[in-house]
Amino acid sequence: MVEVNVSDFSRSLSDYEPIIGSDEVKTIMSLAERVRGAKVIHVSATPYGGGVAEILKSLVPLSRSVGLNVKWEVIVADPDFFRTTKRIHNALQGDMEIKLTEEEIHHYLEVAKKNASELDLEGDVVVIHDPQPLPIIKFVTKRSSSWVWRCHIDLANPNPSVWTILKPYVLMYDALVFTMETYVPRDVKGPKVFIRRPSIDPLSPKNKPLSPSEILRVLNRYDVDPDRPILGQVSRFDRWKDPLGVIDTFKLVKEKIPDAQLVMMGVFAYDDPEGVKWYRRTVKYAEGLKDVHILTDHDGVGDYEVNAFQRASTVIVQLSIREGFGLVVSEALWKGTPVVATRAGGIPLQIIDGVTGYLVDIRDYITAAKRVVELMKRPWLARILGSNGREHVRRNFLITRLLRDYLRMHIDLVSNVATRPQLR
Ligand code: UDP
């Protein structure tokens, strides 16, 4: 087990008061008081590179700032394990072709067993994120904590052969957390179910305000012209994010707006072995096309650069085929940048069509391009949708709301809080 150091992100709840108001701060503080000192352990697969890490980077220090004793640990595993868990991820998202081998299942469980013996599980609540560390629960010898499985992906229509393998572990949990009601598998009965929307941190390096000169410096560094329209996309290189569809859409946009530029940013998470393959396919697919910038963390694209590009983009697209929530949509909207995105997973929670952005059908690149062109040609429309989007995110998808939701769940799970000496 490796504990993730989040000291760079320390901040206090009062820093958020100008954004969320003093009443909300008071509500959160009074909830936090009821679980003061509770030990909460989050376990995930990777410390960077996707939505889960993005949330924990902020949620962990913020929870500490209101008096909880929170740890975040990532599992230790080898590439074979991550190849299998990527296949599990794809199968749960609906790839019906996948069938796990005996060897894969054996190794998946071996890694869980090893991590279970190395993890400090002496807490009040243990929150396991996603399928990679799911079976750890089976191998814990002493189970004094409440165990929660936080599933960030859509389980509505999983590959039955893979789901059958995972389901017994899911049923061992005290509680399950999903992003949407529709993600809860129909055949899961027993554990408590909580519905919790993900959220973004308005004060993180990814989302904090940047000055025009800071943004310009980033554009110059990557040779992107600040005087021409920019279509942006921020996503892992993954088939479910449809990177080739983004390029198809851009080609159509280019026919109407010849000086448009495309900036695709992607990160290589080490738990995603398909990232390099999809990066190469994307670069190859864009060959010969002018004004396409495909950038990764290997080019120095980190939180700050993503922040700058999300602000500099004229329009952001997210054309996912499957999507758990799609934090990148809220990130762009928070910056007042209009978004055109597919009706996939949690995206419609964030985009109210025609009000906070535009929704298009999955793989409908013609409509996606039409909407992008419309927004590029009508700055007044882009401004209205962007500002509605920002307000929608402020009300619904900020980290402080997630903290409040987690506190409520902890209160629910940590029974007899008042009588537990270690909590005071
Ligand atoms: N991200 C990033 N750099 C990249 C690509 C993605 O920092 O090059 C971040 C992105 O800003 C967001 C998260 O990774 O915070 C992706 O979360 P999302 O929910 O959109 O998708 P997931 O990767 O979890 O499927």
What atom in ligand 1 is closest to the CA of residue 303?
7
Ligand 1 within 6 A of CB of 306 = yes
Predicted confidence at residue 423, as pLDDT, reads 40
From the alpha carbon of 200, which atom of ligand 1 is closest? 15
Report the atom number in ligand 1 closest to the C-alpha of 329.
20
pLDDT for residue 422: 45
The whole-number mean pLDDT for each consecutive block of 10 residues of the chain, a chain of 424 residues, reads 74 94 97 97 92 95 96 96 97 96 98 94 94 97 90 94 98 97 93 97 97 98 98 95 98 98 90 91 98 96 97 98 96 98 98 98 98 98 98 98 98 67 41
Instruction: Output the pLDDT for position 7.
Output: 66
CA of residue 275 to ligand 1 center, whole Å: 13
* Distance from Cα 234 to the centre of ligand 1, integer Å: 7
Q: Is the minimum distance from the CB of 235 to ligand 1 under 6 angstroms?
A: yes
Instruction: Specify the pLDDT at position 420.
Output: 46
Q: Ligand 1 mean position to 51 CA, how many Å?
A: 5
Q: How far is the CA of 236 from the centre of ligand 1 (A)?
A: 6
Cβ(327) – ligand 1 distance below 6 Å: yes
pLDDT at site 8: 61
Is the C-beta atom of 45 inside 6 A of ligand 1?
Answer: no
Would you say the CB of residue 301 lies under 6 angstroms from ligand 1? yes
Give residue 49 CA to ligand 1 midpoint distance, Å: 6
Identify the pLDDT of residue 421.
44
CA of 333 to the centre of ligand 1 (A): 14
Q: Is 340 in the pocket of ligand 1 (CB under 6 A)?
A: no
pLDDT given for residue 183 in this prediction: 96
User: φ and ψ at 127, to 5 degrees?
Assistant: -110, 115
- The predicted structure's pLDDT at residue 417: 45
CA 227 to centroid of ligand 1, rounded, Å: 27
* pLDDT at residue 272, rounded to an integer: 83
Shortest-distance atom of ligand 1 to CA 241: 25
423 C-beta closer than 6 A to ligand 1 = no
Cβ(359) – ligand 1 distance below 6 Å: no
